[in-house]
Amino acid sequence: MSESLKIGIPRALLYHRYKTLWRTFFESLGCEVIVSSATTQETYKQGSALAIDEACLSLKIFLGHVNELVGKCDYIFIPGINNYGRGRDVCSRYAALYDIAENAFKNSGQRFLGASIDVIEGITEEDALKSVIMTVGFNERQAKEAYRIAKKEYEKEKKAAVAAQAQLLKQQGTKILVAAHSYVFDDDFMGKGITDYLKKNGITVIRADVIDHEEGRKLSKKLSPTCRWELNREILGGIEKYRNYVSGIILVSTFPCGTDAMVNELLVRRLGKMPVLTLVLDGQTGTAGLETRLESFLDIIHFKEAGK
C-alpha cells in the first residue's frame, strides 16, 4: 500500500476477547488502528437511538462505538462469526453485525470491512482475516505473515492471563468468581463498577472467562453436556475449574441476553449450596441498587465463612 490505512475498531463485544489479535494484525501491515473510547452513558444513548428496542444492551453499546468512529477512519472493522465448528455455535448477532452496522450507517458514507468466520463452511479465523485485508490491496503473503505475528501475540496474552489468575488463586482472603463475558467484565460502563466494588471491599476477583479455551470446553461438560454456545461453554468450564477455590459466584449478564438467561438458570440449579448472585445489567444510570445487592451478597459470604 502506498499510504497507511486508518482502520477503526469498536471497543465493544468481541473486541475485548480479540483486541490483541486484531490490532496486531492490522498494525503488522502498517495500518493505523483507531479504537473507540471507553463506554460512557453517551455511548449507550447514541447506540440505543440506532438499535431496535429489542436489542440487548451489549449490541446497543456496540452501535454507539461504531457511531463514534464514523468519519474518523478509512474503514471500520466489523468482524462476524457464524460458528467455530459443528456444535460450536454463537449468538446470531455475531453473524449479523456487519449487516446491522451497514444498514444503521448506510447514509454516512463510511466504509466497512467485514470478516466472517464459518468453520463449518471451511472459513477459519485466518481465512477470514486474510480475505478481508486482501480486498483493500494487500497480498496473500503479507496477510499470512501478519496473521502469524498476531496469533502469536494473542496466544501469549492468553497464557499470561491464565498464569496471572493462577497466582490470584493462591492469595489469602475471600475470593469471588465473577462469571461474565469479557465484553461485560472489561467494559467501564458495565462490569467495572462490580469489580471495583468487590476489590474495594477486600475481595479477590476471579474471572470465569480466563481459562484456556479448549480446557474450558472440556470442563463445561461436567455442568452441561449439551450447551452449544461456544462462549458460554468456556465460562461454564471456568466455573467448573475455579468454583472450589471461591466463596461465592456472581453471574453477570446484559438485558435481554437469551443465551445467558438459560445458562445462568441452569447454573443456579446445579451449583448446589454455593452462594450465587445473578445480576442482569440494563442501561439505567446509578449504582445504588447494584451496590446494595453486592453488599448483601458479601454479608452472606462473610456469615458463611464465619460459620454463622
Element (H, E) at 37: none
pLDDT in tens, 82-99: 999 999 999 988 999 999
Model pLDDT for residues 137-165, shown as the tens digit of each residue: 999 999 999 999 999 999 999 999 999 99
Q: Both 112 and 239 in a single domain? A: no
Asked if residue 141 and residue 60 are part of one domain, the reply reads yes
CATH number at residue 112: 3.40.50
Q: What are phi and psi of 81, to 5 degrees?
A: -135, 125
Is residue 30 predicted with pLDDT exceeding 60? yes
The domain boundary residue, chosen from 94, 126, 155: 155
How high is the pLDDT of residue 215?
97
251 residue type, one letter: L
State how far the Cα of 132 lies from the Cα of 129, in Å rounded to an integer: 5
Residues 177 and 49 in one domain: no
Last residue of a domain, one of 98, 124, 155: 155
79 upstream amide cis, omega within 30 of 0: no
Amino acid in position 96? A
Per-residue confidence (pLDDT) for residue 308, from 0 to 100: 55
| Residue-range definition of the domain harbouring residue 175 | 171-305
pLDDT, position 3: 57
**What pLDDT score does 286 carry?**
52
Answer yes or no: do 121 and 236 share one domain.
Answer: no
Each residue of 228-276: pLDDT tens digit? 999 999 999 999 999 999 999 999 999 999 899 999 999 999 998 899 9
For cell 485485508, name the residue.
Answer: 133
Task: Report which secondary-structure segment, H or E, holds 75.
Answer: strand 75-83
How many structural domains compose the chain? 2
Q: CA geometry: angle at 299 spanning 191 and 166, to 5°?
A: 55
Using the predicted structure, report yes or no on whether residue 171 has a pLDDT greater than 90: yes
Q: What is the CATH number of the domain that holds 258?
A: 3.40.50.11890
304 — pLDDT class (breaks 50, 70, 90)? confident
- For residue 191 the three cell numbers come to 462490569
Cell of 280: 442482569
